[in-house]
Structure 1
Amino acid sequence: MSASRTAVPSRPHLTSLMYSLPVRRLREILIHVVPNATLGTVEELISTQLPRLYALNMSDDQKLLLSFAPSLAVRLLRQEATLLSSEATLVCFVAGSDQRAEKERTSIQGQIELPNSMALPEIVPKLLKHSSNNREMAYPYSIFKPTAGAPLSTLSIYLSIPERRLVDKQVGCMIRALANHISPSDTFGNVARVLPDAYNIASPISPRARGSAAWSEAFNTLLEGILRDGEDMAVLLPYESIRSHYQRLSWHLDAVTQPRLVILDAGSDTNIMVERGAEKGASMTMAAGVRLTGLRSWSHGVFGDPLLCDAFENPTEGFLEGWRQGGEELIEDKHNAETRLLLYRCYRACVSVVTEHYRPQVDSSRRELEGRRKLTSVLAELDKVDVVEPDVLKRARSLSGESEISKRPKLED
């Protein structure tokens, strides 16, 4: 790590809102969002997420959550360029899909012991207003009804072993429920590439889906994106080795034929929202006393292999129990799943290292070293993978004229 890098302090919590948020303009917008109430106090929330979060206290005691895009001073990775619009698009997609799936969920409710709070419509935040442009408040923003509870990272030390196992089980159920959603265009890729942005009013015609026909191509777009981010900042990484492993083993990814919805950080303690102290009458027993209420951020959505979710890197018994409760097997080509998991671990390790160079913090050295340790470990395991590609796939690649250069997609977006 370069010695010239300087740490960027975290955002001051007590900074005057008049300099960070156009409160007067916000009041005008809220008149149309909540006609019968006015904006009272505004409080900036401490969060590890990129968007700036504000608690809006309304005159009728209603509380709202404002998610404000990062300032221009924050350097973003390629995959973070459409954070707020991707989140708004995904939340609307899941909410609409679950209305159609209500009958199916009811029919299997007797077979799966899930608390009512695990129904996706109840843990996906309700979006009240979203703007993808900079005209209204200088930055894109979203207004939600806030998710109850607090990040698991702030409560985990207070949970008993049975409580933590129950949370992990609910996370497994949630990730399983998300994976039941298939790309409407049958293409692979992140939400911004697969789903049209319904909030983009720049053009009267909604953009068509630009997803990839194969999962190997879509994953390569993600991998190349973070590698080029690293190259842009001259981050020291074994780029040649990483690309070589992908070229050698990418045919394993073509076994994934169903583009299923994955939230990349759905297993992160900083993103999981939980609430302690179940009320009487709730479907969860009082002995449990803890429940999953949703996610803090829904912005990192991808249609692809469910194994790409970070929860599968070191899955707990509770998580696997929740994941398996759905019955039907969703993981394709389980025989070669371990090889795919290695490629996904390599990708996440690269993201962790490069991110610390883009947004250095006080403890970036520790975080970067941990990311490099994981990268070194997974590359050593990839070196041991020596699987011969089936002849039928070799012939298909040869006939298509595919070359190593063609596997590196254009990333102008």
Structure 2
Amino acid sequence: MHLPPLDVAVYPVVTMSHGRHGGRSVRPSSAVSSSSSSSTSSQPRVASPDFSSIQKIIRNVFRSSKITVQQAERLQGRLYQVYLARLADGSSLILKCPPNYTTRSLRHEKHGLETERKTLETLREYTQLPVPQVIKYDSHGGSFGSPFLLMSHVPGRRLSELSSYLSASERNAIDRALGAYVRTLSSLSATQFGMTHRVFAKKGSSSWREAFLALLESVLRDAEDMLVTVPYDSIRYYVGRHSHFLDEVTEPRLVALNVCDPQNVLVDEETKQVTGLIGFTNVIWGDALMSGGITDGSEAFFEGFGECPARTGGVKSRQLIYTTYRATVQIAAQHYRPHLGIDELEARRSLTYALNELAQM
């Protein structure tokens, strides 16, 4: 596999600011067992695999008819169809498939499986992070007829399921570990800016300003397609007015936007330690300040990260620009997929706050 030139670098450590940072809001998630008698979708490009399809996929990947899937469990996912396959030998695999044909996707979500595959392979090669191993990625799906990503299973319960049972010290330890993991992620660099599938195809941007404005315009058009009410003119104007601060970012860093989402952090139920990170479909190469966890990181998170970014000058402007982007994505996603449980009012408050702050700077 051809990877973009990557250089592991470390940001200089500065004295950490001990200011207060808001905590994350978490929502419980649950797993839903899939029935072995459920039928596959009539849409071949976005089929929902039944039990026999899952077993066939796994047997084809390993080229063995002796492999037996004892149980296939549908896991809760916000967009993709995710299955936990338990094999007769006691091992487990994760099968990830595109959304079914009734699910609307935003523009930046179109290449999610490809992004996750390339990101995981990069992380397995250049870091020691606890992430799944890619076993097989098939962009066509063969006889299954739909793309799929087959991965190793990382043990642990989602942080979203355990969060309410954690003590303050246990949560601080988890945040500290996440800070260190985000530091490792953002130490990886590439030669171009932009979405992962474009960077790996050497079709990325030479400037972060160009790449980010393209991302923002993409989600604004998503919102326009659904007639979502947001202040389009204000977003474009105030982000454009401060966009020169994006030129301060001269080296593309790996930015995993959802890495600290409680649904993407796996924790050992007994030790309360982080066992794995999952959900790398939303990864770009850009400004490390945009990485998941940094905007609302706790004091313990920044202890693990090694520094707390100064919230002044160009850094503050960039953070407000990224808040504008994230809020707009959340608002648009809520209209595309209302079942996500996104707090749209909170997203709109964040958007209003960011635009007001940008207007006063």
TM class, shorter-length? 0.7 to 0.9
1:11 shift after superposition: 11
CA contact (8 A) 1:255 1:332 kept: no
Residues 134, 296 of structure 1: CA spacing in aligned structure 2 closer, same or farther, 3 A cutoff? same
Which residue matches 1:305? 287
Which residue matches 1:355? 333
- Residue 262 of structure 2 aligns to a residue in which SS? coil
- Residue 314 of structure 1 aligns to a residue in which SS? coil
Larger radius of gyration: 1
For 2:193, which of 182, 188, 192 is the aligned residue? 188
Residues 160, 376 of structure 1: CA spacing in aligned structure 2 closer, same or farther, 3 A cutoff? same
- Residue 42 of structure 1 aligns to a residue in which SS? strand
What is the CA–CA distance in structure 2 between the aligned matches of 1:182 and 1:363, rounded to whole Å?
34
What is the CA–CA distance in structure 2 between the aligned matches of 1:78 and 1:324, rounded to whole Å?
34
Residues 124, 269 of structure 1: CA spacing in aligned structure 2 closer, same or farther, 3 A cutoff? same
Matched residues, percent identical? 33
CA RMSD of aligned residues (A): 2.3
CA contact (8 A) 2:32 2:74 kept: no
Residues 337, 188 of structure 1: CA spacing in aligned structure 2 closer, same or farther, 3 A cutoff? same
Which residue matches 2:69? 40
Q: Kindly indicate whether residue 361 of structure 2 is the aligned counterpart of residue 368 of structure 1.
A: no
Q: Kindly indicate whether residue 263 of structure 2 is the aligned counterpart of residue 270 of structure 1.
A: yes
What is the CA–CA distance in structure 2 between the aligned matches of 1:57 and 1:65, rounded to whole Å?
9
What is the CA–CA distance in structure 2 between the aligned matches of 1:46 and 1:63, rounded to whole Å?
13
CA contact (8 A) 1:37 1:60 kept: no
CA contact (8 A) 2:266 2:274 kept: yes
The residue type equivalent to 2:289 in the other structure is L
Which residue matches 1:72? 101
- Residue 361 of structure 1 aligns to a residue in which SS? helix
Q: Kindly indicate whether residue 37 of structure 2 is the aligned counterpart of residue 30 of structure 1.
A: no
The residue type equivalent to 2:114 in the other structure is S
After the TM superposition, which residues 146-295 of structure 1 pair with which residues of structure 2 at under 5 Å, given as runs?
146-183=153-190, 186-195=191-200, 208-277=201-270, 289-295=271-277
1:37 shift after superposition: 4.8
The residue type equivalent to 1:95 in the other structure is R
What is the CA–CA distance in structure 2 between the aligned matches of 1:165 and 1:237, rounded to whole Å?
36
CA contact (8 A) 2:61 2:136 kept: yes
Which residue matches 1:5? none
1:68 shift after superposition: 1.5
The residue type equivalent to 1:380 in the other structure is N
The residue type equivalent to 1:336 in the other structure is G
- Residue 332 of structure 2 aligns to a residue in which SS? helix
Which residue matches 1:344? 322
Which residue matches 2:19? none
Which residue matches 1:407? none
Q: Kindly indicate whether residue 326 of structure 2 is the aligned counterpart of residue 377 of structure 1.
A: no
1:28 shift after superposition: 3.4
CA contact (8 A) 2:255 2:292 kept: no
What is the CA–CA distance in structure 1 between the aligned matches of 2:31 and 2:331, rounded to whole Å?
21
The residue type equivalent to 1:126 in the other structure is Q
Structure 2 length-normalised TM: 0.83
1:23 shift after superposition: 3.9
The residue type equivalent to 1:232 in the other structure is D
Deviations 1:298-324 (A, max 9, x none): 111111111112312222011100000
What is the CA–CA distance in structure 2 between the aligned matches of 1:30 and 1:354, rounded to whole Å?
36
Which residue matches 2:21? none
Unaligned runs of 5+ in 1: 1-9, 99-118, 196-207, 278-288, 386-413
CA contact (8 A) 2:71 2:87 kept: no
What is the CA–CA distance in structure 2 between the aligned matches of 1:33 and 1:14, rounded to whole Å?
21
Unaligned runs of 5+ in 2: 1-29, 41-47
The residue type equivalent to 2:152 in the other structure is K
- Residue 176 of structure 1 aligns to a residue in which SS? helix
Q: Kindly indicate whether residue 28 of structure 2 is the aligned counterpart of residue 50 of structure 1.
A: no
The residue type equivalent to 1:248 in the other structure is R
What is the CA–CA distance in structure 2 between the aligned matches of 1:29 and 1:153, rounded to whole Å?
30
Which residue matches 1:18? 39
For 1:133, which of 130, 134, 140 is the aligned residue? 140
Residues 40, 363 of structure 1: CA spacing in aligned structure 2 closer, same or farther, 3 A cutoff? closer
Q: When the two structures are aligned, how many residues end up with a matched partner?
A: 323
The residue type equivalent to 1:28 in the other structure is K
1:56 shift after superposition: 0.9
After the TM superposition, which residues 115-134 of structure 1 pair with which residues of structure 2 at under 5 Å, given as runs?
119-120=128-129, 123-134=130-141
CA contact (8 A) 2:238 2:358 kept: yes
